[in-house]
Structure 1
Amino acid sequence: MALTLNQAAKTCGRSKSTLLEAIRSGRMSAPKDDRGYYVIDPAELHRVFPFQPQDRSINQSIEPLPTSLGNPIEPINSPLSREVTLLREMVDKAEANADHWRALAERQQALLENKKPKEPRSFLRRLLGR
């Protein structure tokens, strides 16, 4: 079941102008029907603009409520923080490695550029050692 621009805007909670901008920029595909109106596939709409519930009650908050048991989130995040630390170390090593190879390539390029063909010396210059 295809949606009109107005229905699609209401479904995803965005304005019609936002949807039009997405269609015109090519982020979302929407063909026109015989009357010239955009026909939007709900799957395509959901791909670009994920559906959001219209009415959000207080009990459906995104962030967890604080507890009186201290900070229970810390043990959960410690393996993740260790993983982040390891990944950052890997990125630093990769950057250092890239810098090393870049410096080597620049040195090789400089050597290649400095190699100028020698001019043939005349017999007189060779004789006089100049």
Structure 2
Amino acid sequence: MKKILTMVLVLMVSTSFLATATIRRVGFTGSSTAVDGLDYTTFQAAHDASINGDTIQLYPSTQSSGSTFSGGINKRLYIVGPGYFVNGYNMPGSGIINNALQALPGAISSANFTLGIGSAGTIFAGINGLGLTTSNILDSLNNVA
């Protein structure tokens, strides 16, 4: 009985940590006005407002130059873009492959981040042309293309 009670308590505490994650948007150009604490104009501002476990969504630009994002990361975050292979080479001017399904037209022309101490466990998803550098990090036994 004591083991079950301990297990339930551990599960409740660990679940409460997951429920506190915040989603922050960078480059969102929806029809609504910017929401303080949710919408940011730069990646670094969204990063600085985040805590470990938060999600940062990177939005593409419909401008001919596309969106560019850069900054240093020293927190464990989930950073997500609009999806891989959204248009031909995810470059401005390329034809959109899945036009009927494309909710976010536009492109991210570059996304370059420096991973620092504290960024272990950061996940990147849906970002084409992602560039990563490290600062004070040992990268070993990995296959990074």
TM-score normalized with structure 2 length:
0.19
Q: Is the radius of gyration larger for structure 1 or structure 2?
A: 1
Q: Which has the higher helix share?
A: 1
Q: Which has the higher strand share?
A: 2
TM-score normalized with structure 1 length:
0.20
